[in-house]
Amino acid sequence: MQRLFILWCFILLSILAYAQEETPMVVDSLYREDQFYVGVTYNLLAKAPTVLSQNGFSGGYHMGFIRDIPLNKGRNFGLGLGFGLSANSYNQNLFIDKDNTGNMSYTILDERSTFTKNKFTTYLVEFPLEIRWRTSTPLEYKFWRIYTGIKFGYVIANGSKYKGDLGTVKHDSIDQLNKFQYGLSISVGYNTWNIHCYYGLNPIFSNEAQINGTSTAMRTIKIGLLFYML
């Protein structure tokens, strides 16, 4: 019985090996690079007043899905349209407060102020639109890529939090924060690892958010890593 079992195994393996040799590999010539992505960035504030300074780590966390739309026969050039979520924090010395009538105020904390936390946060739904170039083929899953385009975002929640000499001050919503955000983005890398940069084209706050009578006009720059997964 044991010899018969071994013989059947040998015959079965021979048949499978022959089938693999004779059957050509199926190549998907109409492949897409539909991809999930996750990323982490360091968030900077551009065009900020000279008296404003960042401190600590200002981080961003991003995830979403992008639909690939090839435009050429080789399918290594195309467009990408996606949907994602983004959470961002900005640690700095801009104190955001609200008076009894609901009016927001923006004050720079001076050097004599002692605080352990002072930040504002934003949570967005995002819609990236990309022009995509890559060295991929139907059989090559590790390749160089350059994806660049514009990213539209809508702030679904925001807030600020302060802990220091003045106690704990927390606001769940900042009225003067622009709900609609958009900016230029680029991702460059090989395989899973990609350097990602984003530059905001419109201010984070509206003109109503003023420091000493001057609009803040701050914009965001995000620099970090983006990971693509099929």
Q: How is the chain split into domains, by residue range?
A: 32-229
| DSSP-derived secondary structure letter, 191 | T
Taking residues 171-180, report their average pLDDT: 91
Q: For residues 167 and 149, give the distance between their C-alpha atoms in angstroms, rounded to a whole number.
A: 43
Q: Choose the weakest-confidence range: 2-11, 18-27, 33-42, 118-127.
A: 2-11
Q: Is 123 helix (H, G, I), strand (E, B) or coil?
A: strand
pTM comes to: 0.83
Cβ density class 169-184: b for 16+ within 10 Å, e for less: bebeebebbbeebbbe
pLDDT single digits (tens) 70-88? 999 888 899 999 999 999 9
Multiple choice CATH, 32-229, 3.30.70, 2.40.160, 2.40.50, 3.40.30: 2.40.160
